[in-house]
Amino acid sequence: MTSSTAKTVGGSVLGTARNAIADVLHRSAGGERDERVVAGVCSLAPEAPRSMLDVGCSDGRVASRIAKLLGISDVRGADVELQPDAHIPVTEYDGSDLPFDDGTFDLVTIVDVLHHADDPIAVLRSSLRVLRPGGRLVIKDHVRLGRWSNGVLLAMDEASNFGVHARTAGRYLSPAEWVNHATIAGGHIETMVWPFRVHSLPWRLVARSEYHLLLRVRQEPA
Say whether pLDDT at 16 is over 50: no
pLDDT of 69: 98
pLDDT of 145: 82
Instruction: Give me the sign of the Cα torsion angle 182, 151, 149, 208.
Output: positive
Residue bearing the bigger pLDDT, 96 or 144? 96
pLDDT of 30: 55
Residue among 107, 101, 161, 175 at smallest CA distance from 135: 107
Strands (E) across 15-143 are located at: 51-55, 74-79, 90-92, 105-111, 131-142
Write the pLDDT tens digit of every residue in 162-197: 444 545 567 889 999 999 999 999 999 999 999 999
Residue among 72, 170, 54 at smallest CA distance from 110: 54
Say whether pLDDT at 13 is over 60: no
Residue bearing the bigger pLDDT, 146 or 191? 191
Write the pLDDT tens digit of every residue in 26-81: 444 457 889 999 999 999 999 999 999 999 999 999 999 999 999 999 999 999 99
pLDDT of 1: 31
Rg (CA), the chain: 18
Please give the average per-residue pLDDT across 157-161, as a whole number.
Answer: 59
On whether the pTM is more than 0.95, the answer is: no
Please give the average per-residue pLDDT across 201-211, as a whole number.
Answer: 66
CATH of domain 3-219: 3.40.50.150
pLDDT of 139: 98
Confidence label for 144 from pLDDT (cuts 50, 70 and 90): confident
CB 104 within 8 Å of CB 51: yes
Burial class (CB in 10 A: 0-12, 13-18, 19+), 86: middle
Report angle CA 177, 162, 87 to the nearest 5 degrees: 85
The C-alpha atoms of residue 60 and residue 79 are separated, in whole angstroms, by 10
The C-alpha atoms of residue 143 and residue 161 are separated, in whole angstroms, by 18
The C-alpha atoms of residue 98 and residue 57 are separated, in whole angstroms, by 13
pLDDT of 11: 41
Please give the average per-residue pLDDT across 122-132, as a whole number.
Answer: 98
Confidence label for 209 from pLDDT (cuts 50, 70 and 90): confident
pLDDT of 56: 96
> Which whole-number Å values give the CA distances from 192 to 13, 122, 182, in the listed order?
43, 21, 12
Percent of the chain with pLDDT over 90: 64
Report angle CA 215, 159, 25 to the nearest 5 degrees: 90
